[in-house]
């Protein structure tokens, strides 16, 4: 975890909703299936939009945005802005680094 701060990572993971968000971002096709209520909002290339995450969590948009900012600061998600929408993806490389850190350093 050379580029990530372990304390930031563990703080980000110390919240059940943020852990769920990471889980959902790991398999967006499963957790955000395309249908009449969700014809857009996620793609393999871009990730998942904040609106879909907000609907799924049941939390306010500001809370979800705050949680995503914490996850992004920790390096666990990446954000991509396209027009008025921001899309988030899980940073798989960072999650592997966290697992390696836990195995080798703790």
Pick the CATH number of 6-105 from 1.10.10.10, 2.50.20.20, 3.30.365.10, 3.90.220.20: 1.10.10.10
Distance CA 50, CA 61 (A): 8
- Give the pLDDT score at 2: 59
Structure-model confidence comparison of residues 42 and 81, the more confident one? 81
Q: What number of CA atoms fall less than 13 Å from residue 26's CA on the CB side?
A: 12
**pLDDT tens-digit series, residues 12-39:** 999 999 999 999 999 998 998 876 555 5
**pLDDT tens-digit series, residues 45-77:** 789 999 999 999 999 999 999 999 999 999 999
**pLDDT tens-digit series, residues 74-98:** 999 999 998 888 999 999 999 999 9
Domain residues of the chain, as ranges? 6-105
Question: Which segments within 13-84 are labelled E, that is strand?
Answer: 42-43, 47-49, 77-82
């Amino acid at each position: 975890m050379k580029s990530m701060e372990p304390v930031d990572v563990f703080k980000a993971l110390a919240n059940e909703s943020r852990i769920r968000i990471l889980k959902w971002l790991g398999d967006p096709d499963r957790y955000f299936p395309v249908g009449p209520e969700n014809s857009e909002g996620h793609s393999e290339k871009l990730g998942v939009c904040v609106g879909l995450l907000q609907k799924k969590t049941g939390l306010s948009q500001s809370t979800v945005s705050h949680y995503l900012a914490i996850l992004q600061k920790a390096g666990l998600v990446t954000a991509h802005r396209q027009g008025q929408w921001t899309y988030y993806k899980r940073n798989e490389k960072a999650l592997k680094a966290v697992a390696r850190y836990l195995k080798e350093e703790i």
